[in-house]
Amino acid sequence: MSDLPDDISLNLYPRLPQNRNVPIGCIGAGFIMADCQIPAYQSQGLTPVAISSRNPVTAQKVAERYGMQACGSYQEILQNPEIPVVDIAVPPDIQQEVIEAAIQQPHIRGILAQKPLAMDFSAARRIVEQCEAAGKVLVVNQNMRYDQSVRACKSLLDQEVLGEPVFATIDMRAVPHWMPWQERLGWLTLRIMSIHHLDTFRYWFGTPDRVFASVRSDPRTSRKFVNEDGICSYILEYGSGLRACGWDDVWAGPFESGPGSEIGIRWRVEGTEGLAMGTIGWPKYPERCPSTIEFASTRFPGRRFRPRWEEVWFPDAFAGPMAELLCALEDQQSPSLNGRDNLETMALVDACYESAKKHCAVELDTLFEN
């Protein structure tokens, strides 16, 4: 990669398994599966072989598009002894029953589940405990950890290029594509978009001691269904003194005013010995817009580095969690995105809801004790 000092490396890409021919069964045929996960898998030589959907016509169309087998139900996939790994991409209020059915099959060794893993922390903990008791490897699809600029920043932190972290921000001004099931659950941003950013802060810095969150409804989406967590702000407090803040604004102004180039996600990490900042290219999807990073450090006085790449979060980074699962099965080691680790992200999201409701900071330890 150009524009990097010789002694700095950026770990941008997932490690791939030696055996990429492990059959993968795909449960769910919506946008994330059909337009992100399957094409990302196939681009890396991974092997999704079968797919199901609540609507068999949808499953058939996706199967024809990618040369896969269409199945009439997810049970048909789970009962196929030739499929040891399943990728579950269904709404969170349905996901638990699918996972519970999967762990009953002795031939299924690995499960990739969507985020949020469940409806709340308590339900997520039950899922994790069930998978552990059954000896199944569970990975949660927190795919923003595989966005290239997020991984680049993590590389800088791991190599102490920025020194001790002091202050960090993620600022989103973008209008996501909302899923129909959100209306029946009444969720908008915290469990859908903010969960990415909260998990990214955890990936960069670990789990905070406490969080203060404030939310309000999104005027645009409120025309369709009632929501409380439309626009979200939160402050993560760490014992080291680090403060990490997020602004998740899905309103971003009325479209008639033409927010245009102001739509986007920007992040910034300030340390005692350096500064890194970047953008996330996702809001321009389906245009391929790579995320970016630039950084400076006291180790390289007077220099600023702007490495670039061609890969994008949507869909390229979606190969990362599945590759991690396959490598974990291959190496017989726990993946970093394991279900037990994800409980801390789920707890952080639940703490944001509690904080917003009570208008006060919430200690993370209180959730783990319950």
Distance CA 87, CA 325 (A): 10
Could you identify the residue written with the tokens 């150009």? 2
Edge-to-edge, what's the strand order for the sheet holding 165-173? Answer: 292-297, 274-280, 264-271, 165-173, 243-249, 231-237, 210-216, 362-363
**pLDDT exceeds 70 at position 31:** yes
pLDDT of residue 293: 98
pLDDT of residue 224: 87
The answer to whether the beta carbons of residues 276 and 241 sit under 8 Å apart is no
The dihedrals phi and psi of 363, each to the nearest 5 degrees, come to -80, 135
**pLDDT exceeds 80 at position 368:** no
- Under DSSP, the state recorded for 218 is -
Q: Would you place residue 258 in the very low, low, confident or very high pLDDT band (cuts 50, 70, 90)? A: low
Per domain, the residue ranges of the chain are: 23-143+320-338, 145-314+345-363
**Three-state DSSP class for residue 288:** coil
pLDDT of residue 330: 98
Q: Would you place residue 177 in the very low, low, confident or very high pLDDT band (cuts 50, 70, 90)? A: confident
Buried b (16+ CB within 10 A) or exposed e, 84-117: bbbbbbbbbeebbebbebbbebeebbbbbbbbbb
Distance CA 84, CA 7 (A): 41
pLDDT of residue 259: 54
Q: Would you place residue 217 in the very low, low, confident or very high pLDDT band (cuts 50, 70, 90)? A: very high
pLDDT of residue 261: 61
Rounded average pLDDT over 30-43: 97
The answer to whether the beta carbons of residues 147 and 317 sit under 8 Å apart is yes
- What is the CA angle 31-34-40, rounded to 5? 115
- Please name the amino acid found at residue 78: L
pLDDT (tens digit per residue) in 292-324: 999 999 999 999 999 999 999 999 999 999 999
| Of the candidate ranges 104-118, 256-270, 336-350, the one whose mean pLDDT is the lowest | 256-270
| Number of residues assigned to the chain | 370
User: Same CATH topology for 23-143+320-338 and 145-314+345-363?
Assistant: no
Give the chain's count of helices (H) and strands (E).
13, 14
Q: Which sign does the torsion angle of CA 27, 143, 171, 358 carry? A: positive
- Return the structure tokens found at 207: 């789990």
| Of the candidate ranges 97-101, 232-236, 274-278, 283-287, the one whose mean pLDDT is the lowest | 283-287
- Return the structure tokens found at 289: 């817009």
Q: What DSSP string runs through 310-325?
A: S--TTTGGGHHHHHHH
pLDDT of residue 262: 76
Q: Which of 22, 72, 67, 74 is nearest to 47 (CA)?
A: 22
Distance CA 139, CA 154 (A): 20
Distance CA 217, CA 172 (A): 16
**pLDDT exceeds 80 at position 67:** yes
Rounded average pLDDT over 240-266: 84
Percent of the chain with pLDDT over 90: 90
Fold of 23-143+320-338: Rossmann fold (3.40.50)
The answer to whether the beta carbons of residues 328 and 335 sit under 8 Å apart is yes
pLDDT (tens digit per residue) in 317-366: 999 999 999 999 999 999 999 999 999 999 999 999 999 999 999 999 87
pLDDT of residue 1: 53
pLDDT of residue 256: 57
Q: Would you place residue 2 in the very low, low, confident or very high pLDDT band (cuts 50, 70, 90)? A: low
Fold of 145-314+345-363: Dihydrodipicolinate Reductase; domain 2 (3.30.360)
**pLDDT exceeds 80 at position 260:** no
* HSE toward the beta carbon, residue 183, CA cutoff 13 A: 9
